[in-house]
Amino acid sequence: MISGAPVDYILNVKMKILSPLVLIAVLLMPAAHADTVRIRAHAPHRYTVVRGDTLWSISAHFLKDPWQWPAIWNRNHQIKNPRLIYPGDVIVLSYNQKGQPVLRVLRTERLAPARHRRATEMTASGSLVLPEMTLKPAVRSRPYVQPIPTIKPDAILPFLTRLRVVTPKEMRNAPYVLAGTDPGRSLFGTFDTIYANHLGPHPATEYLVFKSGPALRTRQKKLLGYEGLYLGRVRLLHAGEPARLEIVSARRAIRPGDRLFPAPPPRPIPYYYPRPPRTNVHGEIISALGSMADAGPGAVVAIDLGRKQGLQRGDVLQVLRHQPKPVRNITTGRTERLPDERSGLLMVFRPFAHISYALVMEAKQPIRIGDDVATP
């Protein structure tokens, strides 16, 4: 039973159009997650979406755990097609006889404002005469309104291609920069041409250039891989050994010995469907991009869990902060360790085999390397 909430919330929500695979995921979501949905005690009765909103930020106005928003849709039997929710639709949140939240959509007609007609004549009595208008069928266009995303795309867009975890073996076996076409130079930038070895008999058209970055290790010092530092993008000019390439863009200086990895084909920004992991997992934060000591909302961190541990894009994890030291119980005289406190939420957006990169969605206190992460 959900308590502390008014009977109806009417939300003017612009929902992200869900793909068929996402819809299937909703229907297959375990019911247990829906039973734990908690509505904020002082949630507003009505909220109008403004430019810059995301599904996560809107949900945070009403739910104590914004990632539980999809669980409410799972119970809805009145919405025939949850994928077809457009800007301007009114979403009504109410409760069924069992006290469970359900959603229904109030479809609204969107009429263009009538064209202004100027009065040019006046009758003897002083009444204005509007000019006659002839209505003709015509095709009219209106600007396309994009649905709101789950999270702001620019928060993760640079990391979808410029982020890579590499093993020592992958670095050793990858093609590498041999030299520049100008033998007197050892640093190369945009529009320079370079030579590279080991592209193979069927080279790719474009490559991303990386160099080995910080080691990614667990708390027990186990090496999971290296953070690949993105340097730039190159385009193949002539295959061979060595091959000749042009630097299309360079974020940092490219040097001999830097490694090349085939550039992935262009893809649309994936839709992230926030949900808890399907299994109970427990890990830790092992790195923060930018070497930040304290990370807050919008920061990107690496955790020691990946696809091998069952993590997928969109999985939400809670961050647990260890209490610094035991406290003395003045009643018993013993020292006791306080339980870990939830300090924030992460959403996985780029899982690798044993490491995942996640976006900090919420932070009650600074997120730090070494903090635990677990299924919420």
Q: Do 11 and 46 contact (CB within 8 A), yes or no?
A: yes
What pLDDT tens digit does each residue of the chain (376 aa) get? 333 443 333 333 333 333 333 333 333 343 334 447 787 777 776 677 777 777 788 778 778 888 877 666 554 444 444 444 566 666 667 677 877 766 565 655 444 444 444 444 444 444 444 455 444 554 444 445 556 677 777 778 878 878 889 888 899 999 999 999 887 889 999 999 999 999 999 999 999 999 988 899 988 889 999 999 999 999 999 999 999 999 999 999 999 999 999 998 887 777 777 888 989 999 999 998 876 667 788 889 999 999 999 999 999 999 998 766 778 888 887 888 777 788 899 999 999 999 999 999 988 888 888 899 999 8
- How far, in Å, are 68, 194, 257, 287 from residue 31 at the CA level? 11, 57, 53, 34
Euclidean distance between CA atoms 283 and 303, whole angstroms: 7
Query: What pLDDT does 326 receive?
Result: 79
Amino acid occupying residue 71 = A
Q: Give which of 210, 214, 193 is closest to 252, Cα–Cα.
A: 210
Q: Do 286 and 303 contact (CB within 8 A), yes or no?
A: yes
- Collapsed DSSP state (helix, strand, coil) of residue 9: strand
Amino acid occupying residue 99 = G
Helix (H), strand (E) at residue 115: none
Q: Is 7 exposed, middle or buried (0-12, 13-18, 19+ CB in 10 A)?
A: exposed
CATH code, residues 282-374? 2.40.10.410
User: Residue 248 contacts by C-beta under 8 Å, 6 or more apart in sequence?
Assistant: 190, 206, 232, 233, 234, 235
Q: What is the DSSP string of 250-315?
A: ESS-B-TT-EEEEPPPP-PPPPP--B--SS--EEEEEEETT--SSB-TT-EEEES--GGGT--TTB
Q: Do 199 and 243 contact (CB within 8 A), yes or no?
A: yes
- Collapsed DSSP state (helix, strand, coil) of residue 219: coil
The model carries a pTM of 0.69
Euclidean distance between CA atoms 240 and 21, whole angstroms: 43
- Collapsed DSSP state (helix, strand, coil) of residue 64: coil
Euclidean distance between CA atoms 359 and 349, whole angstroms: 7
Euclidean distance between CA atoms 183 and 14, whole angstroms: 57
Query: What pLDDT does 108 receive?
Result: 52
Q: How many CB atoms lie within 10 A of CB 57?
A: 16
Query: What pLDDT does 219 receive?
Result: 85
Q: Is the peptide bond before 242 cis (omega within 30 degrees of 0)?
A: yes
| Domain boundaries, given as residue ranges, for the chain | 9-106, 157-262, 282-374
Euclidean distance between CA atoms 229 and 215, whole angstroms: 11
Query: What pLDDT does 158 receive?
Result: 77
> What sign does the dihedral 148-154-155-156 (CA atoms) show?
positive
Euclidean distance between CA atoms 82 and 26, whole angstroms: 10
Query: What pLDDT does 160 receive?
Result: 83
